Amino acid sequence: MKKICLSLLLALTLCLGLCAPAAAFDRSAYQGGFSSDGVLKWLPEPPEAQRTYHITTYAYLFINSVKQTDPNILLAPVFDYTAYIPLRLVSQELGARVDYAKGLIIVSSGEVEIKLQLGDTKAYKSDATQTDQVINFTTPPFVCDEITYVPLRFIAEALGCQVDYDNGVINITGGTAEPFTIDGQQPVRMEFSFFTTMDANVYETTSPTLMQSAYTSLQKALGGPANPPAYVTGASVLQNGDFADRCCFGFYNAQNELIRHLHFYRQYQNPDEPALHEPARPYPFVVTDKPADISYSCTQAAYDELIAPLTETLRTQGTQTHVADTPYA
C-alpha cells in the first residue's frame, strides 16, 4: 500500500511540475550585473532556462499592429521586469537609423537624435527645440549573446511612438518606416517552404522588414522569362532533365489572400544520362510566379548569392509551423 501511495504521489508531483508555468526569476539567488563594456552577466551563472526570459512569456509584442515573432525579444526579470527590445528592431520596424561612434549608440529618426551608451543609465535626446536633453532611466542598454538591447518603452517613446499595454499585449504605434507593399497590397504574413527528399518544412513570419528583405532578394534572383518545368517529380527518383521542388515563398494580405507566390524548381542535369522529358537548360532553376502565371530563369550564382542565405535566415528567424508531405513522397 505504501508503494502505491508513493507512486501516486510521485506521479502527481511530476504532473504538477510539467503543467506548472515557469517559475519567476529568483533574484535572491542570482544577481545581474555588467562588465565594464556593458555586457550583461549573472553571478553566479543561473541555469540556461533561467538566464533570459522571452517577452512572450509574459506578453505579446506588436509594432504598428504587426505581431513580432523575433525569438530574441526578451524581458529581463533581474531588472524589475523592464521590457527590452533588440536595437536592430528599432531601426527595422520603427524606421530609425542606428549608428555607432566613439562608444556611443546614436539612434536617429527625422529631427530626433538619441545618444546612449552600454551600461549607462543616462541618454541624451536632441530635436528641433533642444539639444542634449538628459533622460534618466533605471536600467541601461546592454549586450547579451552579441545582441544589443535597449529599454522598450524608453526608446519607443523617445522616438515619438506610443506604447500601450492591455491584458498581456504590448503595442507600439508610430515610427517613420514606410509600409511594405507588393502590387499595391500590404502583406501581413509570408509562408516559406523548404523541400527535402520526403517532405517540406514550412515556416512563416509576420515581420515587415524580413518580408521586404526576402522579397527584394527574390526579385534580384529572377532572370528572364522561361518555360515552366516540363516534368516535376520527387527528388529521390529524378532522372536527367527532370525538375524537383526546391523552395517556395508565399505573401498573404490581411484577408489571407495570396498576393505573390514564387516557387523554385531545380533541374537535375547529368550529361551521362539521356534526357527523358526535356534536355538540360542553360540555367538549373526555374521559378514559377503565381498568380501571374509567369515563369523565370534563375542561375546557380544568383541562387547561391541570394536565395540560399535567405532560406537560412528564414529558417532561423521565422517560426516553423508544420512539416507537410510532398505529393511525390
pLDDT in tens, the chain (329 residues): 434 443 333 333 223 222 222 333 333 333 444 444 444 444 344 444 444 433 334 467 788 777 776 666 655 444 455 777 888 777 767 778 888 887 788 888 878 888 988 878 888 888 877 777 888 877 778 777 677 888 888 888 888 888 887 777 788 888 766 677 898 998 989 999 999 877 889 999 887 778 888 898 999 999 999 999 989 987 778 889 999 999 999 999 989 999 999 999 999 998 888 888 889 999 999 999 988 889 999 999 999 999 999 998 888 878 888 888 765 44
CB 172 within 8 A of CB 182: no
**DSSP states of 161-221:** -EEEEETTEEEEE---PPPP-BTTB---EEEEEEE-SSEEEEEEE--HHHHHHHHHHHHHH
User: Could you count the other beta carbons within 10 Å of the beta carbon of residue 256?
Assistant: 8
Q: What is the pLDDT of residue 54?
A: 38
CATH fold label, 31-173: Copper Amine Oxidase; Chain A, domain 1 (3.30.457)
Query: pTM for the full model?
Result: 0.56
Nearest to 85 by CA among 147, 150, 168, 39: 150
Structure-block grid coordinates of residue 283: 540555367
Residue 74 confidence (pLDDT): 59
Cell of 270: 547529368
Report which DSSP code applies to 307.
I
Q: Where are the domains of the chain?
A: 31-173, 189-325
Measured CA to CA, the distance from residue 292 to residue 261 in angstroms comes to 9
Q: Whole-angstrom distance between the N-terminal and C-terminal Cα of the chain?
A: 53
Note the Cα 15 to chain centre separation in Å: 33
- What pLDDT sits at residue 4? 41
Q: How far apart are CA 109 and CA 59, in angstroms?
A: 27
Give pLDDT, residue 77.
Answer: 41
Tell me phi and psi for residue 197, to 5 degrees. Answer: -65, -35
Angle, nearest 10°, between helix axes 208-221 and 87-94?
Answer: 70
Using the structure block, give the residue that is written with the C-alpha cell 502565371.
Answer: 293
